[in-house]
Amino acid sequence: MKDTDSNSERSPELRRNFSTWSMLGLAFAVLNSWTALSASLSISLTSGGSTSVVWGLVTAGICNLCIAASLAEFLSAYPSAGGQYHWVAVSWPKWVPILSWITGWINVAGWVALVATNSLLSSQLIMGIIASLHPSFESQRWQQFLVYIGFTLGAFVINAFGNSILPTVYRGAFIWSIGGFAVVSITILACASPDYNSAYFVFCDFVNKTGWPDGIAWLLGLLQGGLGVTAFDSVAHMIEEIPNPRSEGPKVMVYCVGIGTFTGAVFLIVLLFVAGDINAITSSKAGPLLQILIHATNNTAGAICLLMLPLVCLAFATTSVMTTSSRMIYAFSRDGGLPASRWLAQVHPRLGLPLNGLILTTAVVIIFGLIFLGSSSAFNAIVSSSVVALDLSYAMPIAVNCLRGRNLLPPRAWHLPSGMGWLADILGLSYIALTTVLFLFPPGRPVTGSSMNYCIVAFAIIVIISVGHWIIHGRKHFTGPREISS
């Protein structure tokens, strides 16, 4: 692909603050697999039960590891904060404008929705704590919405005014997460001994309370596993802020998925062994995770103390996801992909970060949360939106690479052998195709106006805005991304 004025190479504007370890910390804080998986247990406990919790994660982990390995090739060849929309462009120059435009919009939407997902998971844990301390308390949606806004604004403040300490924060987040995983696992195993559930219950028990046929119900439960191991492209969107990006970035991307899948699987298995009665868990006002901790420790105060470990992890996750979302908005706006791109692409001269991208992320996340006020299935809708959008953005460069014969990328530090590359690409694309359709389904039947999955509505709004902006501006002025020198 020859350089032109529109895609000429330029130097990065963001400071290279992040070491490999701090970047791994950020990536693992974004995935935050064991915390996200345990906080979202309600998705699969009624949609496949233990078999969906454990084997759904194994399935999602293997498929996402294939996707991460495939995208790592692109990251090694083209380390740009644009990530997927940049890789689509260099893989098929003939279709650069429209393919980059679609991929960029989908990826931006996915990252903003993921910020909303983390804020929502955090607010659920807070409301569960209140319910466990005050059994007569009846939670209202507006109350949880206020907690949701609080987590979102907290993440904004840390990102806006703590940019220089973010690498240290994310190294700390990695240590806190791994340490919290070990402390909670060992504590609940010791406290629950010898009152464990059977191995059959942990690995083979099947539950279906969705109203869907059993096979569909189990597949819908994959949403929990998909959430726990997605968003590894955070490494790509922060790549302009680490040294040696072509060699270090791909390793971090793959490592974080592997570590997340392993720790997540171990933690979920531990939770199921000490869970007790499944019906008590699914019906508890405290929420599945806190109820399991209460049952294991037989002490509400002790369980809440243990819950602080994953809750702080979720606060780290909300902050790190917002960091990545703002960088994605900055990168796409830098190439003219969003409305008000000139404003969104500005780097604050004193803070050294895309402050306007942070402001947009925060505003849209708060608006996104309004879905929660009107829908009983808003949790599934918000989670589905983030997972589906991110997966679709992963599929675009992989699909283009396959259609072009997998031989267009230049020599690079990370390279999959031909057979392994084709296997990873096909398995990853098959998983994305299946889950994209399934995750748009309502979580249960019968379907009513308040219980439908409004993920499809959110996508329709994004498509309408994207198409409108393309007709008005994009088709005349958008020429795709410009390369960034490393």
Q: Has residue 368 got a pLDDT over 60?
A: yes
301 C-beta neighbours (distance < 10 Å), count: 11
pLDDT at 15 over 60: no
pLDDT of 84-100, one tens digit each? 888 888 777 777 788 88
Ranked by mean pLDDT, the top range of 61-70, 80-89, 455-464, 473-482 is: 61-70
Which token pair is 52? 């969906």
The pLDDT tens digits for 263-308 are 999 999 999 999 988 888 988 888 899 999 999 999 999 999 999 9
Average pLDDT of every residue of the chain: 85
Mean pLDDT of all residues in 151-175:
86
Q: How far apart are CA 477 and CA 85, in angstroms?
A: 16
Q: Can you give the pLDDT at residue 296?
A: 94
> How far apart (Å, rounded) are the C-alpha atoms in residues 132 and 449?
30
Backbone φ and ψ for 114, nearest 5 degrees, come out as: -70, -35
pLDDT bracket for residue 261 (50, 70, 90): very high
Q: Is the pLDDT of residue 375 over 70?
A: no
Confidence band for 108, pLDDT divided at 50, 70 and 90: very high
For 207-260, how does the pLDDT look when each residue is reduced to its tens digit (9 = 90+)? 999 889 999 999 999 999 998 898 888 888 777 777 778 888 898 889 889 988
The pLDDT of residue 21 is 63
What integer pLDDT is reported at residue 252 of this predicted model? 85
Structure confidence at residue 22 (pLDDT): 65
Tokens 């998909």 correspond to: 226
Spatial distance between the Cα atoms of 426 and 449, rounded to a whole number of angstroms: 37
pLDDT at position 483 is 54
Span 14-37, average pLDDT: 68
CB neighbourhood size of 468 (10 A) = 12
Residue 394 — very low, low, confident or very high, per pLDDT cuts 50/70/90? very high
pLDDT value at residue 484:
43
What does the pLDDT read at residue 206?
Answer: 93
pLDDT of 447 above 70 = yes
Q: What is the pLDDT of residues 304-337, one digit of tens each?
A: 999 999 999 999 889 988 988 998 898 888 888 8
pLDDT digits (tens, 9 = 90+) for 53-72: 999 999 999 999 999 999 99
More confident residue, 64 or 81: 64
Please provide the CATH number assigned to the domain covering 22-476: 1.20.1740.10
The pTM of the full predicted model, rounded to 2 decimals, is: 0.87
Residue 101 has pLDDT above 60, yes or no: yes
- How far apart, in whole angstroms, are the C-alpha atoms of residue 68 and residue 29? 16
pLDDT tens, residue by residue, 429-446: 999 999 998 888 888 888
pLDDT of 376 higher than 70: no
What confidence score (pLDDT) does residue 373 get? 77
